[in-house]
Amino acid sequence: MEELDETDMEVLRLLVEDARRPYSEIAAAVSLSPPAVSNRIDRLREAGVIRRFTLDVDRSQLRGGVPVLLTLDVAPTALEDVREALRDAGAVEELFVTADSQLVFHATVPTEDVREWLLATVPMEEVREYDVSLLADADFTPAIGETDFALSCAECGNTVTSEGTATRIDGTRYRFCCPSCETRFEDRYADHADAAG
């Protein structure tokens, strides 16, 4: 599956509304059998369109804490380390990386001292500056929208059509718009692996 059709988009919309929706209910909505829906969802996961199924928890119903929106200006070389630390922090609900490599995230901090929480959570020596905004309310409404979705070539970024190719390298599946992009990518990957090893 290299192109997403209307049925794929409808399956995605239904899963965004309720990720625990039974396949039989999805099947009835898209006029397929439950096994066919299961196969489509497996292909969407394999293609990387569906990364995981999540649970939207209203933390205010579970425990106290201070809801904040934080922006961290991080040294570019430490961006992934800080991002990983935030991903592992239980208080972080949503995490974004901006085009200028800042980390922006929504968290419900278990203490009123946000700096203390940050010191315990991320390597602050890598944070050049940070900004904290207290939140009065937060609403997250994921939606597929009316945008056309297409898979992108891992090498050049062009749209992958039915004539595209795919390969698995070190457990990750990559998609390409053409065989030459696949070859260039594999060569670069091998060069980087040789240089690292």
Asked, for residue 145, whether it belongs to a domain, the answer is no
Q: Does 124 share its domain with 167? A: no
Does the predicted model carry a pTM greater than 0.85? Answer: no
Q: Does 128 share its domain with 95? A: yes
Domain count, the chain: 3
Give the list of residues 6+ apart from residue 101 with CB closer than 8 angstroms, or none.
74, 76, 79
Asked, for residue 139, whether it belongs to a domain, the answer is no
Q: Does 196 share its domain with 171? A: yes
Asked, for residue 186, whether it belongs to a domain, the answer is yes
In 3-state terms the chain splits into helix, strand, coil percentages (rounded to 5) of 40, 20, 40
Q: What does the pLDDT average to over 7-26?
A: 90
Distance, CA of 59 to CA of 142 (rounded, Å) = 18
Q: What is the pLDDT of residue 154?
A: 86
Q: What is the pLDDT of residue 1?
A: 45
Q: Does 125 share its domain with 162? A: no
Look up the CATH number of the domain holding residue 185.
2.30.170
Q: What is the pLDDT of residue 46?
A: 83
Q: Does 167 share its domain with 111? A: no
86: nearest Cα among 126, 52, 53, 133: 126
Q: Is the pLDDT of residue 29 over 50?
A: yes
Asked, for residue 126, whether it belongs to a domain, the answer is yes
168: containing domain = 150-197
* Average pLDDT value over all residues in the chain: 84
Q: What does the pLDDT average to over 61-88?
A: 84
The last residue of a domain, from among 56, 77, 101: 56
Asked, for residue 197, whether it belongs to a domain, the answer is yes
Q: What is the pLDDT of residue 61?
A: 55
Q: What is the pLDDT of residue 45?
A: 87
Look up the CATH number of the domain holding residue 74.
3.30.70.100
pLDDT band at 9 (very low <50, low <70, confident <90, very high): confident
Asked, for residue 143, whether it belongs to a domain, the answer is no
Q: Is the pLDDT of residue 58 over 70?
A: no
**Greatest alpha-carbon span in the chain:** 55
Q: Does 6 share its domain with 32? A: yes
Report the range of poorest mean pLDDT among 31-35, 59-63, 141-145: 59-63
Q: What is the pLDDT of residue 90?
A: 81
Asked, for residue 196, whether it belongs to a domain, the answer is yes
Q: Is the pLDDT of residue 137 over 90?
A: no
Q: Does 112 share its domain with 157? A: no
Q: What does the pLDDT average to over 81-101?
A: 87
Distances (CA, A) of 41 to 6, 32, 150, 154, 163: 14, 12, 16, 22, 21
Q: Does 69 share its domain with 26? A: no
pLDDT band at 64 (very low <50, low <70, confident <90, very high): low
Asked, for residue 18, whether it belongs to a domain, the answer is yes
Nearest-Å Rg of the Cα atoms of the chain is 21
pLDDT band at 33 (very low <50, low <70, confident <90, very high): very high
